Structure 1
Amino acid sequence: MIAAASADAFSVPPSNRTGVDGPSWCEPGLTARSGRYPLAVEAPVMAAVDMLVPGVSTVTRYARYYSLYWAVAAHAEASRLNRDECRRLVRRAEVGMAVISKAYDDADGTLGLTHGVDALTRLHPPPGSEFEVADGAGARSYSPRSWGFWSQYNGPSVALGTVETDGGALRPGRHRCPAQVLAMYAPLFTACERGQGISLPSAELERLRLQQEQTPDLEPLRGVFTATLDSRHDPSLWSGDDRTRRATLRVLARCWQLHPQAKTWLEAFAAGVAYGPTAREDPVLGGEERTATWRGVVLRHHSVGAWRRLWADLVAAVGSDGAFRRQLHEWISDRLPSGTVASFVADLPPTDLDGDPHPAEDKLRRADAGTVTDVAVLLLGARRLDTLTGMARRSFAGRRSTYLDPTWVAQLRREFAGRSVADLGRRLVDDMLAQSRRVAMRKVAVGPHGTFALFSRLHERNGLYFADSAEGRDNIGLRIPQLAGIATQVGLLTADPAQPVTAQGCDLLDLPA
């Protein structure tokens, strides 16, 4: 017989007691994170833009940084810097550029200030110790990314041909850095290697500011972006990326010439390539095969934006309190007009006039009616499948049919022609919920110890949907504003309607004056 143990036999002295915070035998099995592109409707446009604007991204704003990394690669090769030494030089050079910009650039100027100025203002390193925020980590670093802003310019610089990477170290690309560009940055690199901060005032460093004009890097950058050598374009000397970038820049510049009163670069670009007879009748635009590709991309961009806005509004309707599918059906039904889909489509603006695309989507946006406008834009996209031809139609439709693409909407238009617009809206809600789940499941990441990460803002439990946070309503970028901004910085374009393209721009891009 086993004797009963006394309570004191199992007591633990106070000095030996430890606390337990939750179950200590397992880690959380699933974490939810915000996901990008929750409906995956953006891929065809982004893929086309990647092809048509190589060397420019939606986050590459400054031409000066292209020449900075161009020079860093040349200096790294000459000094035989390894990966870690290149990373230190890049981070210090970026902080140095921010110090120079903060001291010499006009914050209210056209370009504003360089990357990192906000971080310098927040960290406020004492003069002479600026590189501490370059070498530091965490809260005392100017950037949470190990390679700083180079992570934004890495891919574009490689595509541009100014930089290559070898085991992580920067090296010159197919376009060698000119001696005058390397000499321009030599004082900055000397300061970075000395490691004692940026000593100002300095005339040599001041010319590195963003708003400095007539610097030695501008002419070589013009040559790379326009694929010219000694002011002449010889296609045999340039890669496919170089020729495509030149073609897009040439189309953009011509559209700006033809529509200098447009409010934005993208508005001028769309007016030239997407709408009306200009793309067919103008000798420059009509003679460039990529014009038709851009037509399809610009028109497909409208459908992408409509889906993104519809989804953002649906997630907002769910909110943190949650909503059942029935409530989401009621939400969209209340926002759509009465009548059939066929009558609704018949009342929409024409997508073509005299055989050329008409800006029907822009007309609807000017009188934006929220959900009604977004559904109308999707139906206009489905109609464009019937009117576009050739390369424009291929780039508009995409390489293959996907969920929620214009072909999908066209099928719904036929299926719901005799039913109410509200019925169609409820089907769109169902399709968006199903697609968001497919996308989230496809992106599930398996972590250590068998944990999972789910990338989605919207979740469902027992039929109740709830949202972690709001979705952005903005459309994706086409990189035209970024390309135009860089072209302006290197002296090819201007913001002056009286002279939209400079004399150098006309000469290098072979455009009429």
Structure 2
Amino acid sequence: MESRIKDGLNLGQLSRPGAYAGRSIGYKGQYQASEMLLGLLPTSNSQITAFDTSRLNDGFRGLYELTREEHVSEEQLRTNCHLCVCGSRTESDGAVLRELLLAQGADPDTDHDKRRQTVRMVLRLVQLRAPASINTELVDTLNYSPAVRDDDVLSQLDAVPAWQGVTLRNRSVGAWRGIWAGLVAAVPGLCHRSEFSAPLTDVLPSISVGQYLRSLPKVWAPDGTAYPAELEQSAACESDMEAFMATILLGSLRLARIPDRVRPYFESKGDSLQEMSPSWLLNQIHEWDGRALKDFARHIVELLLRRANRLSMRKARFDSSTGTIKIPTRIFFRDDLVFKDSNEGGGSVSLRWAPLVHVLSGIDLLVRDENEKWQITDQGAEALA
């Protein structure tokens, strides 16, 4: 890549039909949707008034002239180094994006207000902790730190309890995905249906469901702050599969005393009726309270297996060109035999916080220091003032 840069860029070759960023295969739709949401492009329901586009033209000065060239030399690239994405920290186009993301004066309860609150929340969380990892340390601070409840900035943001509900539920979702991925990964190509649950049941203690629940850490402090029960129990478990099981159980136990402002984002009314939701699981563990934990795990795994088959059959499509039915699944079962063609990915569903932090860094609101920790900049502190 470095040698290609030294030789310049052949824009004619890079923009030929079928190359990256061609209109049919590029990211035009994604960029366009973001720009419309921010108000950079007009929409019928845009809530941001038109701004001075000369600031964008100034930030991207020289770009349009370069696009008319068939070949851009190294010297031309050096002359226009302000067009590097890192230049948005100081250029006027970065200032425009900064103002749009912060959405000063946005009407309450609009998308722009929610985005502004989320940005302010992230900035303040970084200011409180200076994390190295966004997806672990920053989320843990939001979920479990008493300072969040007492903080002058965070306590005023409606986005905070909303994100607390989303991130706490995300732990449960990630644990469900982890259980399924672990079960599928353990299939040696072909196994009996009765053996499919072994990776989970073999690591669980031989006690009742009720005894296991009573051994778990408390989930809520008296003041409504969440205890880090998922972190404590995961550290105490000897296997990932048991940690996943404990996490989904702890998620269901959170329902009893969950704060009113958090609950709708942890589990909606419609969601509570769905299989595998916290409410559904809570009803299950009440029914199984005095029975063996291992048997309960087998029951859960059987439900997962049926659910996977049901969903894959629902998505099945007939391929008229080959005369076959395509079933989008990695695992199959016939009678009492289970087999797979590949493993599941597992892991938590992305919250998109890390990309947001990098965007905020690109417009000089956050920066990573020499110790690889995120810090708030002077611009970021000013945005919080």
> Which TM class, normalised by the smaller chain length?
0.7 to 0.9
In structure 2, what is the Cα distance between the partners aligned to 1:499 and 1:411?
Answer: 42
With over 3 angstroms needed to count, the CA separation of the structure-2 counterparts of 1:177 and 1:210, relative to structure 1, is: same
| Number of the residue aligned with 1:63 | none
Residue number among 408, 425, 432 corresponding to 2:304 in the alignment: 432
Residue number among 261, 275, 287 corresponding to 1:415 in the alignment: 287
| Number of the residue aligned with 1:16 | none
Residue number among 376, 381, 385 corresponding to 2:251 in the alignment: 381
Taking the TM superposition and a 5 Å limit, the aligned residue runs for 1:355-370 are 355=223, 356-367=225-236, 369-370=239-240
Taking the TM superposition and a 5 Å limit, the aligned residue runs for 1:395-474 are 395-400=265-270, 401=272, 402-445=274-317, 448=320, 452-474=325-347
**AA aligned opposite 1:199:** S
With over 3 angstroms needed to count, the CA separation of the structure-2 counterparts of 1:375 and 1:268, relative to structure 1, is: closer
Is the Cα contact below 8 Å between 2:58 and 2:93 reproduced in 1? no
**AA aligned opposite 1:129:** N
Is the Cα contact below 8 Å between 2:201 and 2:297 reproduced in 1? yes
| Number of the residue aligned with 2:66 | 191
Taking the TM superposition and a 5 Å limit, the aligned residue runs for 1:72-91 are none
**Residues 174-183 or 241-250, more deviating:** 174-183
Residue number among 164, 180, 185 corresponding to 1:316 in the alignment: 185
Query: What CA deviation, in whole Å up to 9, does each residue of 1:454-499 have, x standing for no partner?
Result: 2211122333222121111221111111111111110112334999
Is the Cα contact below 8 Å between 2:8 and 2:74 reproduced in 1? no
The 3-state SS of whatever aligns with 2:376 is: coil
In structure 2, what is the Cα distance between the partners aligned to 1:396 and 1:363?
Answer: 20
The 3-state SS of whatever aligns with 2:343 is: coil
In structure 1, what is the Cα distance between the partners aligned to 2:354 and 2:3?
Answer: 22
Taking the TM superposition and a 5 Å limit, the aligned residue runs for 1:16-415 are 103=5, 127=8, 129-137=10-18, 141-142=19-20, 146-163=24-41, 175-176=50-51, 178-194=53-69, 196-202=70-76, 203-212=78-87, 213-227=89-103, 233-236=104-107, 240-260=110-130, 262-319=131-188, 321-355=189-223, 356-367=225-236, 369-400=239-270, 401=272, 402-415=274-287
In structure 1, what is the Cα distance between the partners aligned to 2:354 and 2:234?
Answer: 20
With over 3 angstroms needed to count, the CA separation of the structure-2 counterparts of 1:499 and 1:275, relative to structure 1, is: closer
With over 3 angstroms needed to count, the CA separation of the structure-2 counterparts of 1:314 and 1:145, relative to structure 1, is: farther
The 3-state SS of whatever aligns with 1:131 is: helix
With over 3 angstroms needed to count, the CA separation of the structure-2 counterparts of 1:354 and 1:314, relative to structure 1, is: same
The 3-state SS of whatever aligns with 1:404 is: coil
**AA aligned opposite 1:279:** V
**AA aligned opposite 1:438:** R
Is the Cα contact below 8 Å between 1:323 and 1:466 reproduced in 2? yes
Q: Quote how far apart the aligned CAs of 1:374 are.
A: 0.7
With over 3 angstroms needed to count, the CA separation of the structure-2 counterparts of 1:365 and 1:198, relative to structure 1, is: farther
What RMSD in Å do the two structures reach over aligned CA positions? 3.0
In structure 2, what is the Cα distance between the partners aligned to 1:155 and 1:367?
Answer: 45
With over 3 angstroms needed to count, the CA separation of the structure-2 counterparts of 1:332 and 1:474, relative to structure 1, is: closer
User: Which protein shows a greater Rg?
Assistant: 1
Q: Quote how far apart the aligned CAs of 1:349 are.
A: 1.6
With over 3 angstroms needed to count, the CA separation of the structure-2 counterparts of 1:371 and 1:184, relative to structure 1, is: same
With over 3 angstroms needed to count, the CA separation of the structure-2 counterparts of 1:101 and 1:426, relative to structure 1, is: farther
With over 3 angstroms needed to count, the CA separation of the structure-2 counterparts of 1:447 and 1:176, relative to structure 1, is: farther
Q: Quote how far apart the aligned CAs of 1:423 are.
A: 0.6
In structure 2, what is the Cα distance between the partners aligned to 1:444 and 1:421?
Answer: 35
Is the Cα contact below 8 Å between 2:317 and 2:327 reproduced in 1? yes
Give me the TM-score of the superposition, normalised by structure 2.
0.86
Residue number among 369, 372, 376 corresponding to 1:501 in the alignment: 376
The 3-state SS of whatever aligns with 1:337 is: coil
**Residues 496-505 or 424-433, more deviating:** 496-505
Q: Quote how far apart the aligned CAs of 1:145 are.
A: 7.8
The 3-state SS of whatever aligns with 2:113 is: helix
Q: Quote how far apart the aligned CAs of 1:254 are.
A: 1.3
Q: Quote how far apart the aligned CAs of 1:313 are.
A: 0.9
In structure 2, what is the Cα distance between the partners aligned to 1:145 and 1:424?
Answer: 52
Is the Cα contact below 8 Å between 2:126 and 2:374 reproduced in 1? no
With over 3 angstroms needed to count, the CA separation of the structure-2 counterparts of 1:343 and 1:392, relative to structure 1, is: same
Unaligned runs of 5+ in 2: none
The 3-state SS of whatever aligns with 1:318 is: coil
Q: Quote how far apart the aligned CAs of 1:441 are.
A: 2.8
In structure 2, what is the Cα distance between the partners aligned to 1:127 and 1:507?
Answer: 40
Matched positions, count: 373
The alignment-based identity, stated in percent, is 28
With over 3 angstroms needed to count, the CA separation of the structure-2 counterparts of 1:131 and 1:476, relative to structure 1, is: farther
Give me the TM-score of the superposition, normalised by structure 1.
0.66
Is the Cα contact below 8 Å between 2:175 and 2:245 reproduced in 1? yes
